[in-house]
Structure 1
Amino acid sequence: MLVTLGFRRAAVPRLARRDMCGAAVRRTTASGLVAVAGGGASFHDYDAAITACVERRALKQGRQVHAHMVTARYRPPVYLATRLVIMYARCGALDDARNVLDGMPERNVVSWTAMISGYSQSGRHAEALELFVQMLRAGCKPNEFTFATVLTSCSGPQSIHQVKQVHSLVAKTNFESHMFVGSSLLDMYAKAGNIQEARKVFDMLPERDTVSCTAIISGYAQLGLDDEALDLFRQLYSAGMQCNYVTFTTLLTSLSGLASLDYGKQVHGLILRKELPFFVVLQNSLIDMYSKCGKLLYSRRVFDHMPQRSAISWNAMLMGYGRHGIGHEVVQLFRTMTEEVKPDSVTLLAVLSGCSHGGLVDEGLDIFDLIVKEQNAVLSIGHYGCVIDLLGRSGRLQKALYLIQDMPFEPTPAIWGSLLGACRVHVNVSVGEVVAQRLLDMEPGNAGNYVILSNIYAAAGMWKDVFRVRNLMLEKTVTKEPGQSWIILDKVIHTFRSSDRFHPRKKDIDAKIKEIYVDIKAAGFVPDLSCVLHDVDDEQKERMLLGHSEKLAVTFGLMNTPPGLTIRVMKNLRICVDCHNFAKFVSKVYGREISLRDKNRFHLLTDGACTCGDYW
């Protein structure tokens, strides 16, 4: 009988020739070529053969080696049987791996861990946890690799409960301070949304490596705690933390959320000084960070100098242009992309969103039809949502409503919310009431829906309905998210809320904003009183408008930055029309460029004009 593992022969020296019960064996392990002849193969021959199959993920040849063992009535020791489990698991044949494990008369911790790891890496988390319980009942004590593997299988709605159970066992077996286990434990706590427990585990580690430091920073970043992530990075870096490309990728995500251009440029410089390899994922993070910080020129520079681009790279650049409302660049870049990389479903979302924010309705619809017809794209509800947003922003509200009713998906609150926002912009009470009723039924506790409906009524002068909606909010104890804006000066974040009364320089800001108001009114600025959702006189409405958080942040920036420097302001909600006009006139009268990022997009205002074209 002859069993041959048929790998391509490489030009390497033969390592050994020897007899096995009179039969010749030739093994070229460097190339993975293993030939076993006769029935008397030894432990070392089987070990070399299985190792070659594991390295090459050669399932067919691995089965041949296993069959040879069975035919030769060779009973593999625990080590070789475990190697078979690993081989089958690495090749994705989990049922075969489980059969080998179940047939082992004796198993050790490596055997169990290999099978648990196979289930975990294949996404079969429930089976991994179930097998872990069997392992414990069999009296086998887990090691650090077992715990790290099991923790990655704690997922789904019960993840936090599962992590706590495993954590309890980790503590009882004194593995809590093991760096490998600790890193996995804090990572899973963070992914389950319990950053406090993750931080406790991190603080207990006697030693911290790059992996554990990156894991805790990533935990803060994943939960949107960008300030905390940045502060922790600075502390750890000052204490001598070594960073890799994953660390910087994670940090750039937080800086994107903060729109902190100065820190972003410093991190980019640090990456260059450390001469880290520019993996695609790191460059994609730089593109995203610069675009969210309002520096599309820098994003494009990184993009253009990439030696290799993935679809994610193109999508990041497309979304950057879309976020800034530069629709024509979105369309042009998309056409270039189709010549180099196959667009994916995210590409279509980015293009449709870019066309929507840029007011390119017909171009967006044409591209949608092109991709659907020529590339047979699989459409998701997200794509329909983009088209509905596209129609809504252009004022085609009835057509958008028909599309919602005809699409093959059940409309989500996000889709209805998009259309309700369009009804507010175009002051369409009839469609707005229909949409709002659907939303209030689906999300009775979402304050944003009540607020938008109230805005529609207020814009139409329907004050009785405004009061009715407000009373409904009181009855249901629904509260609105307060608007706030912030600006970073000298590495300090200054946050403002509407009619802020707590900033230490409140009196100076109030005096300056009144001075600005006089100057821009002389240049033609007229307050948009429709932005005030209260039935009060015009003079009081103007005073209320002056207290909007983005006006306070822009004024503070004007007071505390030298001439010629861009004023960069961020806001957690959508900017109102009056504040947008205010910023335009400030940019013109005072000759200052203003970058204002709200919840949905960027506004770059220069000399009285905005890149959004007053379309957002």
Structure 2
Amino acid sequence: MPVLRSIPMLKITSPSSSSLCSLESLLKYSLSHFLYHSFPLPTPQQNADPKPHQTLYSSFNLRALRTQQSAPSYYASLLQSCIARKAINPGKQLHAHLCHVGLGFDLFIATKLVNLYCVCDSLGEAHLLFDRIPKGNLFLWNVLIRGYAWNGPYEAAISLYYQMLDYGLEPDNFTFPFVLKACSALSAIEDGRKIHEHASRTGWETDVFVGAGLIDMYAKCGCVGSARQVFDKIEVRDAVLWNSMLAAYAQNGHPHESLGLCSEMALAGLRPTEATLVTVISASADSAALPQGMELHGFSWRHRFESNDKVKTALVDMYAKCGYVKVARNLFERLKEKRVVSWNAMITGYAMHGHATQALALFEEMKEKAQPDHITFVGVLAACSHGGLLDEGQVYFQLMMRDYHIDPTVQHYTCMVDLLGHCGRLEEAYNLIMQMRVLPDSGVWGALLNSCKIHGNVELGEVALEKLIELEPDDSGNYVILSNIYAQAGKWDGVARLRKLMMDRGIKKSIACSWIDIKNQVHAFLSGDNSHPDSEAIYAELKRLGGRMKEAGYVPATGSVFHDVEDDEKTNMVCSHSERLAIAFGLLSTPPRTRLLITKNLRVCEDCHVAIKFISKITEREITIRDVNRYHHFKDGVCSCGDYW
């Protein structure tokens, strides 16, 4: 004997009492007598979501319901109304009625029900119904694959795709983008390549929707070359496809390629979209390409995006990352609506430049107007770390958890370890790592290792390097930092041991590189580089500067030199570091008092930091160095970091 379940009735208001009685009686009978075991459904919540119910049932044609109770098309229109409104509760009650009148497993109706459950994120009910109906309808498969691709678990979307193939159905240009989205979320490159092969065999590879899905999948998996191959095969490209390829470059550390492709897009005659501009402006920010960023600023204004707050927020981020914090703040203040991402961009910009006071003041203002999120607190804690504000950092760390109920992420812990370590509280930093609620990553241990270098703590430095070798065994920078700690302590046997370990593992020291943009042309320099056409003049300028710096009191600091060599050789090595070559070229190539912006792929060494302060005073230049960690603004012999970085 099947178990029956009674479902609570909705209170339906209508001007016609006779119609109300007829409809209410029909629904009451239908909804209270469907078989639970024939298709179990969750009990709808009482008194939930009243407006969608009223809207839905006020649209019933009562006469049609009495005379066409078995007409699938009529019920399909009602279900479509539920789908459009994401009205899950009336949809469930209508499903119950359909089961009673014998239409619960009708393929046309059931496909609509599966779609309803998917858009309402009730994938359990969707899959249960899917399993009990015929599966010859490709749209049915697409609906469920899409549901899992949007909401997870993503593995289920990929599994359904393979089941669909086994069932004998061929995917279309809706199937491929959905399943590729699931591959993107999982970075499932092997499945992605198999799906790509299938799309190629079935002729869908050059479809713009499928192509965009393939490009996004390859981008998320870090295969930019494969993404570009897909892009190049598609002859007719829309803005979405161009944007996908622009984002692929920007998200994988190829900002210059992203900017170049944007130029190609303009030449192809396509009008940029909001997504286009946000992507390429962000790319110029990541590469500190200020001239390109300024061109994009003008370009966006000419194309009437001057009132678009998302584009303006991207410009705020770009100007902040390119060292023009005042311009960024001016744009920020002119935003019509300051969203959380806008506040975060400005706070993080201040933090990058070491303007801790301004960052914290802006955060206090933000608290009155927007709800801070976890990214906000990364910026706030980074500002405290870069400014050496230990007490404030500890207060904000506790505030984040206590008042905003934000669980610390690995980025928050990295900021706190860096802050404690820089302040000489190395044991506290180590204890915090041991108490972390998330698994420490290379950023956390790297922050501790760098702090050990600052304070010459060999023992904790060895512990940090051991952990870093487990996490990223081929990163030469970690070995070099501990080598420098050994060198500073005069432990040359430790230096030799690390050098041998690197040689045995085939690890080569990362080559330092600095670059400067002069008249829209990027000039790159390596340490000790002689390849530049103006190399002779550059070294002559360095020699001239060296003499003036020595007269002003500069003494080279050679403690960080990797090798145990004579002092004169150490001095020559640090004096030809890549950032100094870039500065010398900038001095030769620009008018007096022009500001110089140098970007470096590694951290600025201690000696160069001291030397650039002297150079800024001697030449009366403002020199900005953007290294791998932060910005340094040198002016009149002083750095904005306060020698704290």
Q: How does 1:32-71 map to 2 (within 5 A)?
A: 33-35=58-60, 36=62, 37-38=65-66, 40-41=68-69, 42-71=71-100
Q: Is the 8 A contact 2:449 2:461 kept in 1?
A: yes
1:170 pairs with 2:199: yes
Deviation per CA, 1:242-287: give whole Å up to 9, x if none: 2111111111221112101111111122112211375554333222
Deviation of 1:225 (Å):
1.3
Aligned to 2:362: 333
328-337 or 90-99, larger mean C-alpha shift: 90-99
Q: How does 1:115-514 map to 2 (within 5 A)?
A: 115-155=144-184, 159-276=188-305, 280-440=309-469, 443-514=472-543
State the identity %: 38
Aligned to 2:550: 521
Mapped to 1, the partners of 2:203 and 2:440 lie a distance apart of: 50
408-417 or 82-91, larger mean C-alpha shift: 408-417
Cα 1:64–1:581 change in 2 (3 A) is: same
552-561 or 519-528, larger mean C-alpha shift: 519-528
Cα 1:139–1:218 change in 2 (3 A) is: same
Mapped to 2, the partners of 1:414 and 1:322 lie a distance apart of: 17
Mapped to 2, the partners of 1:416 and 1:615 lie a distance apart of: 19
Q: Is the 8 A contact 1:325 1:357 kept in 2?
A: yes
Q: How does 1:541-556 map to 2 (within 5 A)?
A: 541-556=570-585
Mapped to 2, the partners of 1:238 and 1:580 lie a distance apart of: 43
Deviation of 1:441 (Å):
5.4
Deviation of 1:321 (Å):
0.9
Deviation of 1:293 (Å):
0.5
Deviation of 1:146 (Å):
1.4
Q: For this pair of structures, how many residues does the alignment match?
A: 602
Q: Is the 8 A contact 2:105 2:133 kept in 1?
A: no
Mapped to 1, the partners of 2:383 and 2:217 lie a distance apart of: 35
Deviation per CA, 1:493-551: give whole Å up to 9, x if none: 11100000211211111111111212222233222232433333332222212210000
SS, match of residue 170 in structure 1: helix
Q: Is the 8 A contact 1:352 1:368 kept in 2?
A: yes
Mapped to 2, the partners of 1:230 and 1:431 lie a distance apart of: 43
Deviation of 1:404 (Å):
2.8
Deviation of 1:599 (Å):
0.4
Q: Is the 8 A contact 2:192 2:217 kept in 1?
A: yes
Name stretches of at least 5 consecutive residues in structure 2 with no aligned partner.
Answer: 1-6, 15-21, 27-51
Give the aligned residue type for 2:479.
Y
Mapped to 1, the partners of 2:429 and 2:128 lie a distance apart of: 55
Mapped to 1, the partners of 2:167 and 2:349 lie a distance apart of: 55
Deviation of 1:8 (Å):
10
Aligned to 2:18: none
SS, match of residue 436 in structure 1: helix
SS, match of residue 111 in structure 1: helix
Mapped to 2, the partners of 1:152 and 1:146 lie a distance apart of: 10
Q: How does 1:104-119 map to 2 (within 5 A)?
A: 104-105=133-134, 107-119=136-148
Cα 1:79–1:3 change in 2 (3 A) is: farther
Deviation of 1:555 (Å):
0.6
SS, match of residue 372 in structure 2: coil
TM-score (normalised: structure 2)? 0.87
460-469 or 83-92, larger mean C-alpha shift: 460-469
Aligned to 2:630: 601
Aligned to 1:569: 598
218-227 or 459-468, larger mean C-alpha shift: 459-468
SS, match of residue 63 in structure 1: helix
Cα 1:170–1:606 change in 2 (3 A) is: same
Q: Is the 8 A contact 1:8 1:31 kept in 2?
A: no
Mapped to 2, the partners of 1:70 and 1:592 lie a distance apart of: 80
Q: Is the 8 A contact 1:125 1:155 kept in 2?
A: no
Deviation per CA, 1:578-612: give whole Å up to 9, x if none: 21222222221111111110000001111111111
Give the aligned residue type for 1:81.
A
Deviation of 1:563 (Å):
2.1
Q: Is the 8 A contact 2:181 2:217 kept in 1?
A: yes
SS, match of residue 65 in structure 1: helix
Deviation per CA, 1:181-208: give whole Å up to 9, x if none: 1121222122222222211111111200
Q: Is the 8 A contact 2:189 2:218 kept in 1?
A: yes
Mapped to 1, the partners of 2:476 and 2:159 lie a distance apart of: 42
